[in-house]
Structures are given as structure tokens and as C-alpha cells.
Amino acid sequence: MSSARVLAVEALLQVEFDGAYANILTNEILSQNDLSSADAGMFTDLVNGTLRWERYLDTIINYCSSREIVDLSDEVRSVLRLSTYSYLIRGTQAHAIVNEGVETIRNLDGERATSFVNAVLRRITERTAEEWRIYADQRVEDADQEAIMYSLPNWIVKVFQSQIPDQLERIALFEKQNQPPSITYLRRPGTETDTTGLAPGNWSPYALREIDKKLSRQKLKTGELTVQDEGSQLTSWALSMALIEGPDLNWLDMTAGPGGKAVFLAAIAQMRGAKLVANEIHPHRAELVRNVLRRSELNAEILIGDANFGAWAPKSFDRVLLDAPCTGLGALRRRAESRWRRTEKDLADLVIGQRKLLRSAIAATRSGGIVGYVTCSLHPRETTEIVLEAAKTHKIEFVDVPRLLPGIPLAPGPFLQLWPHRHDTDGMFMAILRVE
């Protein structure tokens, strides 16, 4: 059986070269390898943490290596990154790091690079993690300072610098984005759940946090719980709580895959005698929606198709959720590699899609009905700018979303913006548009 470290390096190589998603890949590898729970936890953290901290780790490795990191073999680069992450961020002992790093490269690549890896890791362990931070902080160019020290691409740092002018607060956000998110579950609305091994969430009445892994994992199998960030729960909750006049029987989730919010909405719809239609463009993601609803014993009509050409009549829904595809800048802590894959060009393309989908959502909503526009983003171009632009060309008014969520410290409405460092949720945005 391969060690957790060798498996982690193999996972890093698949993420870098095969475009694998770390969260899906780590689960697959864990299901194929019989690791103890301590090793499984270490494996997952090594993969995600090394990916998140990549730019900072490369900077330190470059200070200690006779060759630039980009010129190293893929295996050597990955082993050095992983060992440096273990040492600088996880706090593993210096002597263990050197021995384990050499052993891991030997396992993957034979003897030829062992002395090089040994030399670089010895140099890195000559300073403590704190000493390296001070050293690097003095050496990096001012323009790259936050991006290197908090391991982000420069363009993403610039977005946050314009959003959060206060540097201390910005750093609190960067630090939060570099930590693994705590696991939060959605308790299916309308059912009683035995909460042994679970603690209440911070904000959502349906959120539970994991205390005992074994107990909560059992409930996942039965569909009593689904994994869902509290920010996502709050958006579905707000959409279901906004008052509307007249009939309230037809609900639409326009872009439903993989089905997290569809579970929440289907459960509330069922309690109120309403019906949910869950639409998704990709058949395999529509299948995920079908499965999660089945596991949770909930009903919804599943449609597969482009929501811009929806298989429904105009103005036929009372409540519509548009959880639009976005850069995911609000969920960087959850998708470890995404900060290195996303580009400004993606942002421009996504914004075009978001505008179009919002027009289609408004067209699908009856007069007096509402559209919840949601993105897991902190970028104004895919949050406020999209809905303010729609307000110029459509007869809509905004519902005050923070007023639907009392007890949560939020900026004044009408929009909702959740922040990882303020709310310990993903950075979710929501606007609710009432269609005239």
C-alpha cells in the first residue's frame, strides 16, 4: 500500500497535469486505498494545503534551490512543495521533513533526485516557519507582497484590494481562504433529526456542524443530512421566506446541479404544497440532482436543458432560483486549485452568461413573483453589477435580503454579501428581484 505522502504527490500531479479537481480526486483516492482515519485526514490536508499555498511555497523553495522550481522534474517539484507545506504550515518537525521528503521521492522516482531533495529540504529547515515569513516578506516586491505571502494570483488580490481597503481585514480574509472550511450539514427541513454527534450551525436554522465524524457520516448515507455550506443554506432560506402576493405553488431552480439548494427548496416546497422544477444543462449533473433528491425522499420534476431556452412557459413560476455559474472567488477555501485555474478572461465570459441567465430567469417569473440571483462570488462584476444592470432594463424591485435574515451581522440591504472571514461561510452573494 502506498503511503499517504506518495498518494498525495500523485494526486498533486493529477491536479496539475490532468485538470483533476482536488476535492473529487481525493475522495476517489481515499475510496481506493485503505488509509487509517489519521492518514486519510493527513492525505486530504497535504493535497489541499499544498495547492492553496503553492505560490508561497514556490517562493521559499526558489530561495533554497540551485535550480528554479519551474525547471525541476514534476515529481521533484511536487515532493518539495508538499514537504515545504508540511514544514512551514502544518508544523511537522524539521528532521522528519527531510527524511520523509527523501523517502517519498525515492518511492516515486528512484535514487536520482534524492540528494537534490535532501539538500533543498535541509536548507529550508535551517530557518523556522516564522523566520521564513519575515525573510520572504522583506524580499518580495511590494507589488507582489500580498499575493505571494497569502498565495494568490495578483489579479485576485487586486479584486480584494478594491473590495476591502482595510489591509488588516483583507488579510483576515486571505488567512480564512487558506484554511480548510469546517464541514457543515443541511438537516432536511420538515424532518426531525437525532443530533447526537452534531452541533448547531451559526446562522441557518437547518445547519449542523460535525463533532463526531462517524455519527454524521451514517446520516449522510440515509439522506437525513447533506453536506452544505451555511451560506448556501441562507440563500435558499431567504428565497423561501420572501413574501409574495397570490399563488405560490410553482418554484424553479434553473441551474440545479449538483442539487444542494434543490434539496432545501424541494423540502420547503413539499411542506407548503408547492412543486419544484429542477433544471440543469449537463445530464451527469442532472443525475446528481436526481440522486440527492431520491436519497432525501424528496420530489421535484427534473429537466435537462439550457435554462435560456427553458422547457416552460414564460411567466410561469412564483419563485425562481438562479444560482449562476461564477468564478467561485467566494469559495476559494473549498476548491483548493481553483485560484490557479481561474483567469480574468473566465470572469468576462461568465459575466456574459450571468446576464443572459438573469434575463431568462426574469422572463420565467410571473408578475409579483421573485427571482433569487445567487453567486458564490465576491466580485462586483458578477454580483451587484449584474442585478443593477437588469434593473435598468426590466421592471423589477429589489427585496431587502438582510431583513429576511435577522440576527446575522450583515451590511445594509438590499443585497446579501456573506464573507468567509466575517461569517465563516462561503462568500455568497444574493439579490432578490420582485418582477412587476
Ligand X SMILES: C[S@@+](CC[C@H](N)C(=O)[O-])C[C@H]1O[C@@H](n2cnc3c(N)ncnc32)[C@H](O)[C@@H]1O
Contact residues toward ligand X (CB under 6 A) are: 232, 255-261, 279-282, 285, 306-308, 323, 325
Q: Which residues pair with 396 in a beta bridge?
A: 435
Q: What does each C-alpha distance from 202 to 207, 385, 423 come to in angstroms? A: 8, 29, 8
Location of C-alpha cell 418554484: 251
Between 54-64 and 74-88, two packed helices, what is the crossing angle to 10 degrees? 100
Question: In whole angstroms, how close is the CB of 429 to ligand X at the nearest point?
Answer: 12
Provide the CB-side half-sphere exposure for 71 (13 A, CA): 5
Catalytic, out of 108, 376, 401, 430:
376
Question: In whole angstroms, how close is the CB of 413 to ligand X at the nearest point?
Answer: 22
Grid cell listed for 38: 489519521
State how far Cα 397 lies from the chain centre.
Answer: 30
| Minimum CB distance to ligand X smaller for 101 or for 259 | 259
Question: In whole angstroms, how close is the CB of 67 to ligand X at the nearest point?
Answer: 41
According to DSSP, residue 380 is labeled G
Question: In whole angstroms, how close is the CB of 435 to ligand X at the nearest point?
Answer: 19
CA-based end-to-end distance of the chain: 63
| Minimum CB distance to ligand X smaller for 274 or for 326 | 326
* Among the listed residues 366, 142, 374, 338, the one whose alpha carbon sits nearest the alpha carbon of residue 260: 374
| Minimum CB distance to ligand X smaller for 157 or for 278 | 278
Asked if 347 and 223 touch (Cβ cutoff 8 Å), the reply is no
Question: In whole angstroms, how close is the CB of 343 to ligand X at the nearest point?
Answer: 18
Concerning whether 376 is annotated as a catalytic residue, the answer is yes
Backbone angles phi, psi at 370, to 5 degrees: -130, 150
| Minimum CB distance to ligand X smaller for 104 or for 327 | 327
Question: In whole angstroms, how close is the CB of 294 to ligand X at the nearest point?
Answer: 15
CB burial string 73-109: b at 16+ within 10 A, e below = eebbbbbbbbbbbbbbbeebeeeebbebbbbbbbebb
| Minimum CB distance to ligand X smaller for 46 or for 358 | 358
| Minimum CB distance to ligand X smaller for 54 or for 280 | 280
Grid cell listed for 269: 416546497
Residue 219 identity (one-letter amino acid): K
According to DSSP, residue 190 is labeled T
Supply the residues annotated as catalytic. Answer: 376
